[in-house]
Structure 1
């Protein structure tokens, strides 16, 4: 069984950032708690306290909660109403489905002047004759009993019948105590007891036949049977958790290594899915295309992109690939093809390439003939224009034939030589 501890209270106060001293509301339901403790010391500013569906048999350690307005103790093993006088602000008290047989104990609620709502449905005392008239008369401050509003006429009728109701309550309690005595004797004489179950089941493994035989046994609405069932459920749950822990330890032993000792990632394809890593068709991006099942839900796929590797988890199985260069993780994009179901991941390079060279493929090689179809898509891509400049290298002194500065002087000498040898012929007519 569970005890109220500081760790449990802090865990249940996450809505208050784990702060206990300023806590105003806490829910400790379905924790198999058997005793109320520590709450009045650690959480004095509580306004709402929920303790339903536990194994609490006594109301105690709550008198210091001066600000408490709502207390829920439904579905517990409480047999008497007590120790609530110090709850000065209590407005709502829920004691549904307990084992309160002494209805006279409601008189202890007279000092709770602000009490407006009281729930006693499912307790043995509600079966007594004139039960409602008795409670209405004893507690004049309440406005609602078992979710039914109390009218002025109800109070008048209840006060008139109080002397009858008081006798009926006493006789009803005597009858209940006789029944209660028989229940205790039947439990003590039963073949299966709580101690025997716990001692036996802690040593031996529980099998399906034993569980079925336990649930086939008759059970009664008594505090003892409720504790027995709760402990049996706790044992079954502990064994399930123990099996899970054993399976987890086995899984840890069989865990695949993702990295080498020096931190380099391995290439792993656990799901055995076809994929294509293309780092040659684009100088800016690397593309990874994974063939997923067409009708697989995307929620079963988890993608973790790192600068030097990518990890894709498909239904718990890991596909991890080392990337040829460093990429930008924040700009990477993953898309799903609605027709084929394939997953395409685009990963921008951190340092784009200037030129992407075509792979040299020997098509005459028989071994590479099978991969011809896969490599046919690879093309030669040249990024940008490459400007080249051709220069001539001259060796030795310049040649005179290439010196055009002397051409004019040579022609002038020739003209002078010709004019000095010219003889005028008078018989030749002048040009017109």
Structure 2
């Protein structure tokens, strides 16, 4: 059961800076409210009140709203129009699709002299013969009924047959109330039988509560007879859950396919049924789920795609990098994405859901980058490979080496079986210590570049001009 609380009203008063004492309009629709309360004390200046699509059975606690002009109570469980005499400024009342069967209760609106519009579409009273004439004559200040304007000629004709109209309406109303009493009795009997079948019992407030959450414990009789094994008997109880899954499914189908009258009780029963299903689903979702294995005990990294996103993993040979393109939701805020790049795998957390993939090669996490597309929303991770990684490439074929025996090494390799690796043969007699003094070989017959730089070539007398002096400290011109 949902109550009207101060917190609920303040949440609905955001347009008024959450102040409720000066509130002039408040919407409390679709809140499963079952009772009107506190509104007339907290919001004295209220002019518009929306309470449609709730479970309100009575109109009450609204008499202090002197400034109230529009009251919407459509889609509720109201059966009688009452307790609106204090709403002096009421101009429009909407009671569409309720259960108003006591048409004579309309006369309680005679004190609301400013009432101009009234909606009773979808109520049982609208099926009465003479319904419109009765309302028109009972509320002479009304201008519009069920969205149709009341003309002067219609009002005159209604007053001419007033006595006959009232008599017919009262007879139909008595018949309806008699039928309604039977429906209430049948609904009460059905509710009592249902609660007894479920093994429930009434509490101090008259409501029914289920024993031990529909759980039955069965003991082993042999252990109970032995006094020494009483404790063992307690530990050997068999826990059984009722009803079974198939039985529950059968009852669910029976509940929705069994015809029932359209009454406040049936509407309330359907709401209770949906509420129980919702709570059971929430309870099931609140159970701790088994954590998904991301890395096994042996250290093996698993591929996981909990958000079920499309992705592509490619290799950029030109930049020696691995590129991961993850199709993240376009309108997802980037703050809800967490990226963790490891040398051998990548883990992306999207709104608490894990995406993890093993990389085909080792990468550099520190040099990796993450970018988000502004048009598609995709997440692109660029991860450079680790430097020094050996990659198998197809090189040019080298000529076969010739050994001292004169046979080709390639021909020997072809004759060998099992692909035994070839050993390098070295002559021990040719092994000498390296000569560090002659690292750069120089040919004495022909001068090397260092010698040429240090000793310039002798110039011929014919090519030198008169007065030329050769300076050895100046390097030669090339």
TM range (shorter): 0.5 to 0.7
Contact 2:325 2:381 in 1 (8 A): no
Change (3 A) 1:57 1:274: closer
SS in 1 for 2:55: coil
- Residue correspondence of structure 1 range 417-428 to structure 2 within 5 A: none
Aligned to 1:101: 101
* Residue among 248, 256, 276 paired with 1:235: 276
Partner of 2:330: 299
Cα RMSD over matched residues?
4.2
**Which residue of structure 1 aligns with residue 256 of structure 2?**
215
Alignment match, 2:354: 317
Q: Is the 8 A contact 1:80 1:101 kept in 2?
A: yes
Change (3 A) 1:311 1:10: farther
Match of 1:181 in 2: 181
Residue pair 2:99, 2:264 contacting (<8 A) in 1 also: yes
User: Residue by residue, what CA displacement relative to the aligned partner does 1:196-235 show, whole Å, maximum 9, x if unpaired?
Assistant: 5664598236732221222233311222222222211111
Compared CA separation, residues 359 and 77, structure 1 to 2 (3 A): closer
In structure 1, the residue matched to 2:372 is 334
Structure 2 match to 1:123: 123
Aligned equivalents of 1:116, 1:334: Cα separation in 2:
59
Q: Is the 8 A contact 1:303 1:311 kept in 2?
A: no
Q: Are positions 1:369 and 2:408 aligned together?
A: no
Q: Following TM superposition, by how much is the alpha carbon of 1:11 offset from its aligned partner in structure 2, in angstroms?
A: 2.9
Cα deviation, residue 183, structure 1? 1.6
CA 1:26–1:193: 2 relative to 1, 3 Å = farther
TM-superposed CA distance for 1:163, in Å, is 1.6
**Length-normalised TM-score, structure 2:** 0.59
Alignment partners' CA distance in 1, 2:276 and 2:158:
48
> In the comparison of the two structures, how many residue pairs are matched?
334
Distance 1:255 1:96, change over 3 A: farther
Q: Is the 8 A contact 1:98 1:123 kept in 2?
A: yes
Q: Which of the numbers 237, 240, 250 marks the counterpart of 2:289?
A: 250
Q: Give the drift of 1:118.
A: 0.4
How big is each residue's C-alpha offset from its partner over 1:371-425, in whole Å with a ceiling of 9 and x where there is no partner?
x69xxxxxxxxxxxxxxxxxxxxxxxxxxxxxxxxxxxxxxxxxxxxxxxxxxxx
1:290 paired to 2:324: yes
3-state SS of paired residue (2:190): coil
Over 3 Å counting, the alpha-carbon distance change for 1:162 and 1:200 in structure 2 is same
C-alpha change, 1:188 and 1:299, in structure 2 (3 Å) is same
Q: Which runs of 5+ in 2 are unaligned?
A: 199-207, 215-241, 296-300, 358-362, 395-478
- Structure 1 164/245 Cα, relative in aligned 2: closer, same or farther at 3 Å? same
Taking the aligned partners of 2:378 and 2:79, their CA distance within structure 1 comes to: 65
What is the distance in 1 between the residues matched to 2:194 and 2:184? Answer: 13
- TM-score scaled by length of structure 1: 0.64
Q: 1:146 to 1:308 in 2, by over 3 A?
A: closer
Q: Is the 8 A contact 2:117 2:142 kept in 1?
A: yes
- For CA contacts below 8 A with separation 6 or more, give which structure has more relative contact order: 1
Matched-pair contact (CA < 8 Å) for 2:338–2:348: no
Q: Which of 196, 210, 213 is residue 203 of structure 1 equivalent to?
A: 213
Once the two structures are TM-superposed, the CA of residue 108 in structure 1 deviates from its matched residue by 1.4
C-alpha change, 1:311 and 1:7, in structure 2 (3 Å) is farther
SS at match of 1:4: coil
Q: Provide the rounded CA distance (Å) in 2 between the counterparts of 1:78 and 1:342.
A: 53
Over 3 Å counting, the alpha-carbon distance change for 1:135 and 1:16 in structure 2 is same
Could you tell me how far apart the structure 1 residues matched to 2:364 and 2:24 are? 53
1-side partners of 2:272 and 2:338: how far apart? 49
Q: Cα gap change, 1:342/1:97 in structure 2, threshold over 3 Å: closer, same or farther?
A: closer
- Closer, same or farther in 2 for the Cα pair 1:150/1:110, shift >3 Å? same
Instruction: Give the drift of 1:83.
Output: 0.8
Q: Contact between 1:289 and 1:342, CA under 8 Å: does it hold in 2?
A: no
**CA shift digits 1:354-387 (9 cap, x unpaired):** xxxx9446xxxxxx234x69xxxxxxxxxxxxxx
For residue 162 of structure 1, report the CA deviation from its aligned partner.
Answer: 1.3
Asked if structure 2 preserves the Cα contact closer than 8 Å seen for 1:92 and 1:115, the reply is yes
Query: Do the aligned residues in 2 keep the contact of 1:302 with 1:312 (CA within 8 Å)?
Result: no
1:304-339 deviations in Å (ceiling 9; x for gaps):
588997974469334599951698xxxx8533999x
Distance 1:119 1:143, change over 3 A: same
Q: For the residues of structure 2 that align with 1:89 and 1:11, how far apart are their CA atoms? A: 26
CA contact (8 A) 2:324 2:382 kept: no
Native 8 Å contact 2:116 2:141 kept in 1: yes
CA distance, structure 1, for counterparts of residue 378 and residue 322 of structure 2: 10
1:142 — aligned with what? Answer: 142
Gap change, CA 1:342 and 1:298, over 3 Å in 2: closer
Using the alignment, how far apart are the partners of 1:221 and 1:337 within structure 2?
52
